[in-house]
């Protein structure tokens, strides 16, 4: 079969590989759609040794069951499914509470990151990773498994603070951010301020229901402050879907005293945290900082329900498998709006 693999660190190419078979407890999925995540660019850019090679990338997967392995119950050929990408140990304190994204034994990774993923015609995954998608289009289901699930989980963590009438700033309106805006619209009654360097991304944010858009330039903090008011007031929740130094500076400069800062983007920036006496303070008093990772299976099921209700719909650009490397090049250049989805 054809697969798009990181054949050596930093090298992404389409190659022929043997079609996998479903092992015990696994299903073989005919890949219907796979989202191109910015994290894949971080994987390609990572120092040699951090990720296994060769590896088939693609961790936002939806498809149709082709065959089931020994011992699999509840799934049969033709079933349509989304793939929950994390494979926790299943027995640690976090996994037992359903928080496989916090597994204390298996390092962060998953299908398409630490074992072969979905940028291929077929992928073998543990049956326990599948969720039924009903009548949801697979091209819609795929981005929900990560671009949707990650902000959904972050919003879940901050939900007690997302009271009606409060303000949430979302920085970076790409694959994750545009779904973050929709999830906020669908599940809260907060004012949403979207921030991005790209005018096209801000237009997308407006279409998704953001109430204010702010261009990420040196005046961004001032313009957000005009909306949320001066310190110690500010944004109740800030979701940074970029995570570089400038966005982290914006985030900590606009978050309210007692607010929440959700650091989702893996851009490699640093958030300074110093005790209170500093002037100017690095962060308002009582700020909660969380570094969310992906999400839980239960959250993905809820998000699929929102997708099936038409309340969360990814804005997608589709590419055939052989054009996957080109899709990643466009993503790197900031020329993908919403999510690029590869359709093998
Ligand atoms: P993307 O490329 O689709 O979107 C990024 C957006 O950020 C773009 O709209 C871009 O214009 C904007 N942007 C870039 N620099 C900016 C700046 N300085 N200020 C404001 N906006 C800026 O990326 P994505 O797939 O949505 O991923 C976003 C980040 O989240 C990546 O770092 C990715 O690795 C990370 N991620 C984290 C998790 C997690 O579990 N924590 C999961 C998935 C992705
Ligand atoms: Zn991802
Ligand atoms: Zn575990």
**How far, in Å, CA of 267 to CA of 295, rounded?**
19
280 DSSP assignment: S
| CA dihedral angle for residue 109, residue 114, residue 119, residue 122, rounded to 10 degrees | -110
**How large is the average pLDDT for residues 307-323?**
98
Domain residues of the chain, as ranges? 2-132+314-343, 150-290
Distance CA 325, CA 321 (A): 9
Cα 127 to averaged position of ligand 1 atoms, centre (Å): 30
Entry pTM: 0.98
* Average pLDDT score over residue span 147-170: 98
Neighbours of 65 (CB within 10 A): 20
**pLDDT tens for residues 38-97?**
999 999 999 999 999 999 999 999 999 999 999 999 999 999 999 999 999 999 999 999
- Rounded to 5, what percent of the chain is helix, strand, coil? 30, 25, 40
Q: What is the CA radius of gyration of the chain?
A: 20
Please state, in angstroms and rounded to a whole number, the distance separating the CA atoms of residues 56 and 120: 7
Ligand number with the minimum distance to the CA of 99: 3
How does pLDDT run across 206-254, given as a tens digit for each residue?
A: 999 999 999 999 999 999 999 999 999 999 999 999 999 999 999 999 9
**Greatest CA separation for the chain:** 63
Our answer on whether the CB atom of 198 is closer than 6 Å to any ligand 1 atom is: yes
112 lines ligand 1 (CB under 6 A): no
Residue 2 vs residues 30, 56, 91, 125, 152: alpha-carbon distances, Å = 12, 10, 35, 17, 32
| Fold classification of 150-290 (topology level) | Rossmann fold (3.40.50)
CA 284 / ligand 2 centre spacing (Å): 30
Cβ proximity of 144 and 44 under 8 Å: no
Average pLDDT, the chain: 97
Instruction: Output the pLDDT for position 330.
Output: 98
**Tell me, what's the pLDDT at 277?**
66
Quick one: what percent of the chain has pLDDT higher than 90?
A: 96
Q: How far is the CA of 15 from the centre of ligand 1 (A)?
A: 28
- What is the pLDDT, as a whole number, of residue 279? 73
Element spanning 130, H or E? strand 130-132
Q: Tell me: pLDDT of 10 over 80.
A: yes
- Please name the CATH architecture into which domain 2-132+314-343 falls: Alpha-Beta Complex (3.90)
Which has the closest alpha carbon to 259: 237, 232, 281?
Answer: 237
**Distance (Å, whole) CA 77 – CA 271:** 48
The answer to whether 112 and 59 have CB atoms below 8 angstroms apart is: yes
Mean pLDDT computed over 162-170: 98
The predicted-structure confidence for 283-296, as pLDDT tens digits, reads as follows 999 999 999 999 99
């Amino acid at each position: 079969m054809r697969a798009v693999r990181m054949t050596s660190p930093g090298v992404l190419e389409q190659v022929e590989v043997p079609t996998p078979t479903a092992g015990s407890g696994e299903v073989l999925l005919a890949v219907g759609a796979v989202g191109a995540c910015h994290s894949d660019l971080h994987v390609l850019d990572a120092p040699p040794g951090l990720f296994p090679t060769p590896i088939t990338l693609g961790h936002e997967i939806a498809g149709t069951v082709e065959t089931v392995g020994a011992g699999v119950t509840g799934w049969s050929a033709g079933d349509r499914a989304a793939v929950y990408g994390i494979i926790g140990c299943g027995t640690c304190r976090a996994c037992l509470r359903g928080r496989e994204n916090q597994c204390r034994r298996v390092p962060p990774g998953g299908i398409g990151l630490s074992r072969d993923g979905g940028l291929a015609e077929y992928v073998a995954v543990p049956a326990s990773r599948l969720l039924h998608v009903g009548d949801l289009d697979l091209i819609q289901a795929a981005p929900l498994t990560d671009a949707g699930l990650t902000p959904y989980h972050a919003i879940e963590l901050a939900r007690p603070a997302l009271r009606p009438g409060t303000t949430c700033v979302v920085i970076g309106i790409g694959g994750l951010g545009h779904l973050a805006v929709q999830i906020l619209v669908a599940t809260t009654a907060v004012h949403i301020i979207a921030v991005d360097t790209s005018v096209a991304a801000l237009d997308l944010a407006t279409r998704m229901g953001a109430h204010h858009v702010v261009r990420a330039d040196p005046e961004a903090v001032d313009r957000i402050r005009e909306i949320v008011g001066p310190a110690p007031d500010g944004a109740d929740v800030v979701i940074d879907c970029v995570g570089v130094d400038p966005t982290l500076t914006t985030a900590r400069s606009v978050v309210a005293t007692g607010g929440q800062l959700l650091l989702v983007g893996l851009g490699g920036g640093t958030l300074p945290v110093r005790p209170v006496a500093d002037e100017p303070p690095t962060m308002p008093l009582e700020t909660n900082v969380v570094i969310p990772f992906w999400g839980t299976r239960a959250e993905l099921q809820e998000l699929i329900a929102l997708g099936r209700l038409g309340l969360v719909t990814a804005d997608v650009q589709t590419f055939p498998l052989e054009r996957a490397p080109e899709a990643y090049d466009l993503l790197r250049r900031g020329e993908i709006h919403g999510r690029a989805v590869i359709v093998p």
